[in-house]
Chains A and B, each alone.
Chain A
Amino acid sequence: MRALTLHLKLLIAILVVLGISVTAYQIFVLGIPVTEDATDDLWNIDAKVEFVASAKDPVKIQMFVPPLSRDFVSLNESFISNNYGVAVNRVDGNRKVTWSARRAKGNQTLYYRLVLTKRYSGEKPKIKGATFRDSMPIEGPEKVAAEALLAPIRQHSADVETFIGEAIKRVNNVNDDNVKLLLAGDPTTAHKAKIVELLLSIAHVPVEKVHTIRLVADQPQVPELWLRSFNGTDWLYFNPETGEQGLPTDRLLWWSGDENLITVDGGKKATVTFSLNNSEMNAIRLAKLTDENTDAKFLEYSLYGLPLQTQQTFMIMVMIPIGVLVILILRNLIGIQTLGTFTPVLIALAFRETQLGFGIVLFTVITALGLSLRSYLEHLKLQMLPRLSVVLTFVVVLIAAISLFSHKLGLERGLSVALFPMVILTMTIERLSITWEERGASHAMKVAIGTLFAASLAHLIMTVPELVYFVFTFPAILLILVGFMLAMGRYRGYRLTELVRFKAFLKKADA
């Protein structure tokens, strides 16, 4: 017995831990929203390309577009351009779109539109980068200045990370004579980045320029320059102005390298303006959309992977254990008597079709009429199967009659009756009449009311939309339920109704 208890406890612990960890994994790692109402940001980025085409030459415009390999996933991408051919190709981790036209004239406008959102997948794509580079050629006073700068940097750094940070800080100290010499009167961020790259190249540390767009709505944007270096496992990002490490989460990597954002052949005065806006979208729908657009199929093995129709069935099915749990609590903890164990759950399912109030009325009317028929049949001394068949047929006729009447009276509700499960009603009538005979009318009444109450409660709980969503999205919750049910299997305490039933003991104790 004791070993069995331990076994049971272990089983419950395993189930509960498994249920909680799977759910926690879904919520915290996969980032599946906890409620259906949760929304996520959806970014809409427009890059507007304007230029003046020269009349004679064919036009070829090349522009970088985001490679989308990091934390973002594209939901929709479009290239809006009349009369231009469009080609997209990948070069060294960058993506480049090429618009081309044989003939174009005057002001030209092209659009690139990207709709993206944060990636839900925890998996990061494999990345690789260089960890060594050759020194850039440098001579004369610049060489001396660079070496003079490098010496304290070496002193103040412990590894590649701090080395880069320190280098950036030194280069940004424009009062330093060495820095002044190297900058040669051009203190733009781009030039500073170049100097940093030069310094680091002497130390054989590779850095790369990356150009990012900040995800802020309704503000004019220009690509922001960052530096990054590969430390063997991951990219380290540095702000070239401050030396701060780490790319903020709202930065979208647009392209990397030294090239310009756009190159135009056969045109001039090319400008690119970015405009961003964001909208919110139902998170789970977004998740589904994301899923379709990536390889990371995180919903693949969830119930959302099923065809829509099957999904709807499952939305009902996953709630059945919840209904059963309600009955379990009502029966074993509260002590309400119901007809059979699962009849109330079946009735609760039937209430889906009819709505609660109407369902209760219908159930009562049909059961009452069915019971009177059953008591009449009792006199005829029929065997069980023929008797049940008669009751079932009677129930069908009754339901047909109710449907007809309510239709004639213009009550739409009556028609939903047709789907009210007849077999459930028949079995209810049969069992109720057996209870009636064995244990008397008052007991039968008590049981019938208990059943109806349990069914109503189960129905109400089974149709809470938030709960349906939660259980459907995180089915591992059912494991926790099983754990609770197992524990209930060994519950020895009193039922609430027993406290009333055994009151006689206490009255005497007080006297």
Chain B
Amino acid sequence: MFGFWKTWKALEARGIMGINRRNADYVLKYNKRSLYPIVDDKIITKERAIAAGIHVPELYGVISTEKEIDKLGEIIGGRNDFVIKPAQGAGGDGIIVVADRFEGRYRTVSGKIIAHEELEHHISSILTGLYSLGGHRDRALIEYRVTPDQIFKSISYEGVPDIRIIVLMGYPVMAMLRLPTRQSSGKANLHQGAIGVGVDLATGLTLRGTWLNNIITKHPDTTNAVDGVQLPYWDGFMKLAAGCYELCGLGYIGVDMVLDQDKGPLILELNARPGLNIQIANDCGLTLRCHAVEARLEELKARGVSETVEERVAFVQEMFGHIPAVEG
């Protein structure tokens, strides 16, 4: 019992945020329930992003009724690679990534050959709600296939690594690079076994990582060091993430982004209840950083001004950036 109390005090001193605090102080306080559909439905997210001029993977088309499935060929056009996704899918279910064409059929990234009819059947399944939580009717979207930047080749296994930034009222507070592993079967979700690697907000240099709640420094599949990697276009990522507050109106979100080798930073999706493992990846608590941002907001409110995306990014980079590299 005493040991638990000691742990409690130590965690509190380091400002580690627990689920209860996240829910009570941030998710419930800053995220209006009525705005959830914007982040839950990837099509709405994308439309909003496009309207706001934020970069997202290009949307080729949306299929929302059985009848529209006939237009699939038209939507795909002459393209060789594309992604089919359920708009409200969760956990990466129901996603087909087509990498190439083969003899009038399609080849997925994992090498499976599928016929056009099979794609149509898959979309039909999406529409009936097979992949959406609760089994609601859903829509399917066909979009640009992201090719991960070469920089990640050495430190990731299959799949697309993505960058998660927690944004509080438009201020990025913490960032993490998520690397798929063999165990996570190419998915970038930490609870499925992907690695989370902390990222310095100011420089875009990676810190050490977390894998299944442990601190690690090497990728378990490639054994390459995950720390000390310079992420390109870092300021671009930061601005993209900061701008997502204006995009969705939710005050506490996790912004998932990818680095495409041709198009640069793109927004994949937003999450209204971002996980807490990012703290382990960064070896730093969220609470103190969030309090700093809240204090800044108070101060600005008192002065009656609000900051632009650039000013906000500069503020957090100054505040939370430039973490000295840890030896060992």
Contact call B4/A491, Cβ cutoff below 8 A = no
Q: Which residues does chain B contribute within 8 Å of A508, judged by CB atoms?
A: 215, 283
Given contacts A491-B20, A502-B11, A504-B280, 18 further A-B contacts (CB under 8 A): A381-B125, A383-B128, A384-B135, A434-B133, A439-B191, A492-B18, A494-B8, A495-B18, A496-B4, A498-B19, A499-B4, A502-B279, A503-B213, A504-B213, A504-B214, A507-B215, A509-B10, A509-B14
Q: Is A185 an interface residue (CB 8 A)?
A: no
Q: Is A437 an interface residue (CB 8 A)?
A: yes
The docked-state distance in angstroms from the alpha carbon of A438 to that of B192 is 9
Q: Is A493 an interface residue (CB 8 A)?
A: yes
Q: Is B302 an interface residue (CB 8 A)?
A: no
Residue of chain A at shortest CB distance from B124: A381
The docked-state distance in angstroms from the alpha carbon of A439 to that of B248 is 27
Given known pairs A437-B93, A504-B213, A505-B280, the reply for A498 and B129 (CB within 8 Å) is no
| Residue ranges of B at the interface with A (Cβ–Cβ < 8 Å) | 4, 7-8, 10-12, 14, 16, 18-21, 24-25, 29, 90-91, 93, 125, 128-130, 133, 135, 191-192, 210, 213-215, 279-280, 283
Contact call B283/A439, Cβ cutoff below 8 A = no
Q: Of the candidates B16, B93, B135, which one forms a contact with A502 in the assembled complex, judged by CB atoms under 8 Å apart? A: B16
Contact call A499/B20, Cβ cutoff below 8 A = no
Contact call A438/B7, Cβ cutoff below 8 A = no
The 4 closest A-B pairs by CB, nearest first: A384-B135, A438-B91, A492-B21, A494-B18
The docked-state distance in angstroms from the alpha carbon of A384 to that of B14 is 46
Given known pairs A383-B135, A502-B280, the reply for A440 and B192 (CB within 8 Å) is yes
Contact call B4/A1, Cβ cutoff below 8 A = no
Given known pairs A499-B7, A504-B280, A506-B7, the reply for A332 and B20 (CB within 8 Å) is yes
Q: Is A126 an interface residue (CB 8 A)?
A: no
In this complex, which of B7, B8, B91, B210 has the most chain A Cβ atoms within 10 angstroms of its Cβ?
B7
What's the dominant secondary structure at chain B's contact region?
helix
Residue of chain A at shortest CB distance from B326: A508
Contact call B20/A492, Cβ cutoff below 8 A = yes
Given known pairs A438-B93, A439-B91, A502-B11, the reply for A381 and B279 (CB within 8 Å) is no
Q: Of the candidates A434, A438, A490, which one forms a contact with B24 in the assembled complex, judged by CB atoms under 8 Å apart? A: A490
The docked-state distance in angstroms from the alpha carbon of A137 to that of B158 is 120
Closest CB in chain B relative to A451 CB, distance in Å: 18
The docked-state distance in angstroms from the alpha carbon of A434 to that of B213 is 24
- Residues 186 to 208 of chain A near chain B (Cβ within 8 Å): none
Given known pairs A491-B20, A495-B18, A499-B4, the reply for A506 and B10 (CB within 8 Å) is yes
The docked-state distance in angstroms from the alpha carbon of A437 to that of B92 is 10
Q: Which residues does chain B contribute within 8 Å of A509, judged by CB atoms?
A: 10, 14
Q: Is A379 an interface residue (CB 8 A)?
A: no
What's the dominant secondary structure at chain A's contact region?
helix
The docked-state distance in angstroms from the alpha carbon of A439 to that of B193 is 10
Mask: chain A, 115-126; 1 = CB below 8 Å from B; 0 = not:
000000000000
Q: Is A501 an interface residue (CB 8 A)?
A: yes
Closest CB in chain B relative to A98 CB, distance in Å: 74
Q: Which residues does chain B contribute within 8 Å of A440, judged by CB atoms?
A: 191-192
The docked-state distance in angstroms from the alpha carbon of A494 to that of B21 is 8
Contact call B8/A499, Cβ cutoff below 8 A = yes
The docked-state distance in angstroms from the alpha carbon of A308 to that of B192 is 53
The docked-state distance in angstroms from the alpha carbon of A378 to that of B20 is 35
The docked-state distance in angstroms from the alpha carbon of A1 to that of B26 is 12
Given known pairs A384-B129, A437-B93, A439-B91, the reply for A499 and B29 (CB within 8 Å) is no
Closest CB in chain B relative to A505 CB, distance in Å: 6
Q: Of the candidates A439, A493, A506, which one forms a contact with B192 in the assembled complex, judged by CB atoms under 8 Å apart? A: A439
Q: Which residues does chain B contribute within 8 Å of A332, judged by CB atoms?
A: 20
Residue of chain B at shortest CB distance from A489: B24
Q: Which residues does chain B contribute within 8 Å of A1, judged by CB atoms?
A: 29
Contact call B20/A504, Cβ cutoff below 8 A = no
Residue of chain B at shortest CB distance from A378: B130
Given known pairs A440-B192, A498-B18, A505-B16, the reply for A492 and B25 (CB within 8 Å) is yes
Closest CB in chain B relative to A19 CB, distance in Å: 24
Closest CB in chain A relative to B210 CB, distance in Å: 7
Q: Which residues does chain B contribute within 8 Å of A169, judged by CB atoms?
A: none
Given known pairs A383-B129, A492-B18, A499-B11, the reply for A438 and B280 (CB within 8 Å) is no
Closest CB in chain B relative to A71 CB, distance in Å: 50
Q: Is A443 an interface residue (CB 8 A)?
A: yes
The docked-state distance in angstroms from the alpha carbon of A407 to that of B34 is 54
The docked-state distance in angstroms from the alpha carbon of A335 to that of B8 is 14
The docked-state distance in angstroms from the alpha carbon of A493 to that of B21 is 6
Sampled A-B contacts (6; CB under 8 Å):
A383-B128, A383-B129, A493-B8, A495-B19, A502-B280, A505-B280
Contact call B20/A495, Cβ cutoff below 8 A = yes
Mask: chain A, 40-71; 1 = CB below 8 Å from B; 0 = not:
00000000000000000000000000000000
Q: Which residues does chain A contribute within 8 Å of B130, judged by CB atoms?
A: 381, 383-384
Given known pairs A495-B20, A499-B4, the reply for A438 and B90 (CB within 8 Å) is yes
Closest CB in chain A relative to B232 CB, distance in Å: 29
The docked-state distance in angstroms from the alpha carbon of A489 to that of B29 is 12
Mask: chain A, 438-469; 1 = CB below 8 Å from B; 0 = not:
11100100000000000000000000000000
Closest CB in chain A relative to B115 CB, distance in Å: 16
Closest CB in chain A relative to B130 CB, distance in Å: 7
Contact call B215/A504, Cβ cutoff below 8 A = yes
Q: Which residues does chain B contribute within 8 Å of A434, judged by CB atoms?
A: 133
Contact call A504/B210, Cβ cutoff below 8 A = yes
Q: Which residues does chain B contribute within 8 Å of A383, judged by CB atoms?
A: 128-130, 135
The docked-state distance in angstroms from the alpha carbon of A438 to that of B131 is 10
Q: Which residues does chain B contribute within 8 Å of A491, judged by CB atoms?
A: 20, 24
The docked-state distance in angstroms from the alpha carbon of A498 to that of B213 is 11
Q: Of the candidates B7, B24, B283, which one forms a contact with A492 in the assembled complex, judged by CB atoms under 8 Å apart? A: B24
The docked-state distance in angstroms from the alpha carbon of A498 to that of B279 is 12
Residue of chain B at shortest CB distance from A382: B130
Contact call B213/A501, Cβ cutoff below 8 A = yes
Q: Which residues does chain B contribute within 8 Å of A492, judged by CB atoms?
A: 18, 20-21, 24-25
Q: Which residues does chain A contribute within 8 Å of B90, judged by CB atoms?
A: 438
Residue of chain B at shortest CB distance from A4: B29
Mask: chain A, 82-126; 1 = CB below 8 Å from B; 0 = not:
000000000000000000000000000000000000000000000
Residue of chain A at shortest CB distance from B277: A501
The docked-state distance in angstroms from the alpha carbon of A322 to that of B21 is 24
Q: Which residues does chain A contribute within 8 Å of B128, judged by CB atoms?
A: 383-384
The docked-state distance in angstroms from the alpha carbon of A501 to that of B4 is 12
- Residues 324 to 367 of chain A near chain B (Cβ within 8 Å): 332, 335
Closest CB in chain A relative to B19 CB, distance in Å: 6
Residue of chain A at shortest CB distance from B185: A440
Q: Which residues does chain A contribute within 8 Å of B91, judged by CB atoms?
A: 437-439
Residue of chain B at shortest CB distance from A491: B20
The docked-state distance in angstroms from the alpha carbon of A503 to that of B11 is 9
The docked-state distance in angstroms from the alpha carbon of A493 to that of B29 is 16
Q: Which residues does chain A contribute within 8 Å of B4, judged by CB atoms?
A: 496, 499
The docked-state distance in angstroms from the alpha carbon of A332 to that of B22 is 12
The docked-state distance in angstroms from the alpha carbon of A272 to that of B20 is 76
Q: Which residues does chain A contribute within 8 Å of B21, judged by CB atoms?
A: 492-493
